[in-house]
Chain A
Amino acid sequence: MINITKITKTFNPGTVNENTAIRNLSLTVQEGDFITIVGSNGAGKTTLLNLISGSILPSSGTMYILGNDVTRTPEYKRAAYIGRIFQDPTLGTSGKLSLEHNMNICSRKGFKGLKISLDAKKRQLFREELIALEMGLENRLKDNVGLLSGGQRQALTLLMTVLSRPELLLLDEHTAALDPRNAEIVLSLTQRFVDEGNLTSMMVTHNMKHAIEYGNRLLMMDRGDIILDVSGDEKKNLTVEKLVKKFHEIKQTEYTSDEALLTT
């Protein structure tokens, strides 16, 4: 599905602000994988997702998605088969547009022509799809998305992203900006949509418990590289304590600076 070989990303090369966010990283993702990614701030998790989605291009290395070399492919072209959800719930939808117009934009990927495709049939379809969220949004098709709460907006983004049938789903701490209850709702919806569509997914999270609970493979990143990669039974038997211990074993350093790592 994804083949990343020795990828490096350096920001502001040749200046005093030079910063290598990803260092010689290689990764292979199998079809159907649900990968969770943890790591402290600045470990390169978001940069990795940015590189995969194409919103930034690597300084060196190669990247293949679905057998195609996408190393230099612009983001909007990759978006045809990648669905991405950000931490900020406002990034996935347009607050100025109504719910139905938002869903219409996302109902088909790629360039939009001069067709008026939003009709009664499509509205009915949107309504049926919105029922799955159990938030009563099916009765608010004409409301501006700006009126929805953060949780509703993120759930809607998730639904719209899944409905556009991506081959790969990138989740960048997509529940971090929500309150605990809404975070749980959005996470369980994520799990359900991923299962139903057998979606290949990568989820960045700061929550160790979530990282262990969800997915079939766990990556831990530090200083721009993957330092731990567990899957299968090993992943199933993980606990937060074991994970922290493993981290210490690898790093052989006392890990005190980052509280996020111990959040449960």
Chain B
Amino acid sequence: MIEGILVDGLIFAVMALGVFITFRVLNFPDLTVDGSFATGAAVAAMSITNGLGIFPGMLLAFASGAAAGTITAVIHNRLKVPNLLAGILTMTMLYSINIRILGGRANIALLRVDTIISKVIQIGGSIPREWTLLIFMIIFTGIVKILLDVFFHTDMGITLGAMGDNEQMVVSQGVNPKAMKVIGVSLSNGLVALSGAMLAQYQGFADANLGVGIVVQGLAAVMLGEFLFRSNKIGMLTIQVIFGAILYKALMFFGRYYGYYINLTPSDLKLLTGVLVIVSLVVAKTRKNIGSRKRGIQ
């Protein structure tokens, strides 16, 4: 059970890291995620079933997510529409595109083909399936986290960090803020799609509805993580997101298995997620107020 939650959480964490980049670093609330998650799953599933191979398939999934993010950022930059609307536009269009990618179907099974999951279980040999997957996912998500940390230590990554806080400063330093938005949003959606690709292989199918409501789930994970501890170091912030994602999956697990005592059904989980985000917002706000009162400022 605990291994299952951890594996779930670690796959989910890659998506949450993407949401963290847009919502927290870039201050660009990006809803493309609801579409690009399924895009990643669909592209990976079709690549694998059509014999392109697992790794090229996952790379392609990342690239397709990044392309979706680029479209959102360009709509926002060029047409000067609010970032929320730009994301919704791309997300809506992606629903049709995802079904096209899946060959006109709403879903596709990955049962009789080799996936990264079946390969890893093979390598694991006699180790129990769930434990093999857990070790693999720790390595996989760990690598994504470390690469992201390194990126945020580069000149470009640091500048991206300033973007969400103070766009004027970035402009004043001779950096095109539009280019930075394209980079940030496409990186975010690349990660989201990669997470979708992983989930499709883990659960054995890709579905055009896979990503519905996922951006709010990612946001819930990011916010849960922020309650764990405080830091201004990017390495700690990404750890927060990963822990938050696991915590979120654990909460949802308990909601699913023990929720029936209070008459909860699986369809209530989205309501629960929304309430979780609202409670997080309220707690964060109260904390901030208390903090500023302590320091004597209002």
Whether A109 lies near B166 (C-beta < 8 A) is no
Within residues 78 to 96 of chain A, which ones have a CB less than 8 A from any CB in chain B?
A: 79-80, 83-84, 86, 90-96
Stretch at the interface among B61-69, B175-183, B259-267: B175-183
The one of A75, A83, A113, A118 in contact with B171, judged by C-beta atoms closer than 8 angstroms, is A75
| A106 vs B165: C-alpha distance when bound (angstroms) | 15
The one of B159, B172, B175, B232 in contact with A96, judged by C-beta atoms closer than 8 angstroms, is B232
Whether A76 lies near B174 (C-beta < 8 A) is yes
CB-CB under 8 A from B154, the residues of chain A are: 112-116
Residue A3 at the chain B interface, CB threshold 8 Å: no
CB-CB under 8 A from A164, the residues of chain B are: 173
Contact digits for A95-136, partner B, Cβ 8 Å, 1 yes 0 no: 111100110111011111111111000000000000000000
Whether A111 lies near B169 (C-beta < 8 A) is no
| A113 vs B288: C-alpha distance when bound (angstroms) | 35
Whether A76 lies near B166 (C-beta < 8 A) is no
Whether B179 lies near A111 (C-beta < 8 A) is yes
The one of B156, B168, B173 in contact with A91, judged by C-beta atoms closer than 8 angstroms, is B168
Whether A116 lies near B169 (C-beta < 8 A) is no
The one of B150, B153, B159 in contact with A105, judged by C-beta atoms closer than 8 angstroms, is B159
CB-CB under 8 A from A79, the residues of chain B are: 171-174
Residue B158 at the chain A interface, CB threshold 8 Å: yes
**With A79-B171, A144-B232 as given contacts, are A94 and B161 in contact (CB-CB < 8 Å)?**
yes
Grouping DSSP codes into helix (H, G, I), strand (E, B) and loop, the A interface class, with mixed when no group exceeds half, is loop
CB-CB under 8 A from A113, the residues of chain B are: 154-156
| A80 vs B174: C-alpha distance when bound (angstroms) | 5
The one of A94, A109, A110 in contact with B169, judged by C-beta atoms closer than 8 angstroms, is A94
CB-CB under 8 A from B174, the residues of chain A are: 76-77, 79-80, 109-111
| A54 vs B156: C-alpha distance when bound (angstroms) | 23
CB-CB under 8 A from A117, the residues of chain B are: 155
| A110 vs B232: C-alpha distance when bound (angstroms) | 25
| A94 vs B175: C-alpha distance when bound (angstroms) | 15
Contact digits for B137-179, partner A, Cβ 8 Å, 1 yes 0 no: 0000000000000110111101101101110111111111101
Whether B155 lies near A112 (C-beta < 8 A) is yes
For the complex formed, measure the closest distance between the CB of A37 and the CB atoms of chain B, giving whole angstroms: 19
> Which residue of the partner chain B has the closest CB to A109?
B174
The one of A75, A97, A110, A118 in contact with B162, judged by C-beta atoms closer than 8 angstroms, is A97
CB-CB under 8 A from A93, the residues of chain B are: 166, 169
Whether B155 lies near A115 (C-beta < 8 A) is yes
Choose among B154, B172, B174 the residue with the greatest number of A CB atoms under 10 Å from its CB.
Answer: B172
Within residues 158 to 215 of chain B, which ones have a CB less than 8 A from any CB in chain A?
A: 158-159, 161-162, 164-166, 168-177, 179
Question: Which B residues are closer than 8 A to A by beta carbons?
Answer: 150-151, 153-156, 158-159, 161-162, 164-166, 168-177, 179, 232
| Nearest 4 Cβ contacts at the A-B interface | A112-B155, A94-B162, A109-B174, A79-B174
A-B contact pairs, 8 of them (CB 8 A): A91-B169, A95-B166, A96-B232, A111-B175, A111-B176, A112-B154, A112-B158, A114-B155
Task: A115-B155, A116-B150, A118-B155 given; name 18 further pairs at CB < 8 Å.
Answer: A74-B176, A76-B176, A76-B177, A77-B174, A79-B172, A79-B174, A86-B168, A91-B168, A92-B169, A93-B166, A94-B161, A94-B169, A97-B158, A104-B155, A105-B169, A108-B155, A112-B175, A115-B154
